[in-house]
A and B are shown apart, each in its own frame.
Chain A
Amino acid sequence: MADEKAEKILAALGGASNIIEIEPCITRLRCELEDGSVVDEKALKALGAHGVMRQGNVVQVIVGPEADTIASDIEDLL
């Protein structure tokens, strides 16, 4: 179940090939992406994200306190 969520978040971020780095920080995933414009904000929110902040190719997904777990689940998929 958790892995499925990680998979869907990864897909919404443009897939594994789009990820340069994902770093969890307590409440958020800091994602450095090849291309920030492909991020599916609606999908991320549907997956429970409280918010998405974009600064070019750095996208922060606010997922709440489970950020650490989600990040390590995503790492497993990369």
Chain B
Amino acid sequence: MTLSVGSPVAGRVVSLTEVPDPVFAQAMVGPGIAVEPDRVAADVVSPVDGTIVTLHPHAFVVATESGAGVLVHLGIDTVKRKGEGFTLHVVKGETVRAGQAVVSWDPAEVEAAGFSPICPVVALDAPADSLGEFSEGATVAVGDQLFSWQR
């Protein structure tokens, strides 16, 4: 089956290699793409239907029923914000629909604090050739497809 992975944020889609963090740029935890978010306060939504299996203020993983894990990371090194500026709308273990608000944040505030607000969206442990239809270079709204994942 093909899983469509939607954008958790509005912005401009760029290659994962543009993320200023080697873990993401070198796809160490899986292939994917990144979104340079619009610099306005916004809700971050789930990219797929599934369950919130990992939840931090600045990052989360949604696992689909078939076990596909999609990681959304809000900015780089933002763990150092200790949750400041992030408002969670779900709890760990909660079932979510694609497009459902998970957390609110303000990319402009993150940037002003000295962090890159870029958002890597990663297909955890996926073979690189299982992803396709990348929307790299596109300007996306929340929920627009970022890539498809053959499973």
Contact = CB atoms under 8 A, between A and B. Distances in A.
Contacts, number: 40
Interface of A is mostly: strand
Contact of A25 (B53, B59, B125): B59
A7 B92 CA distance: 26
Interface in A1-40: 23, 25-28, 30
A53 interface: yes
A25 B1 CA distance: 30
Given A50-B28, A65-B54, A65-B71, A25 B79 contact: yes
A23 B79 contact: yes
Interface size grouping (class) on chain A:
10 to 19
Interface of A: 23, 25-28, 30, 50-51, 53, 60, 62, 64-65, 68
A49 to B, nearest CB: 9
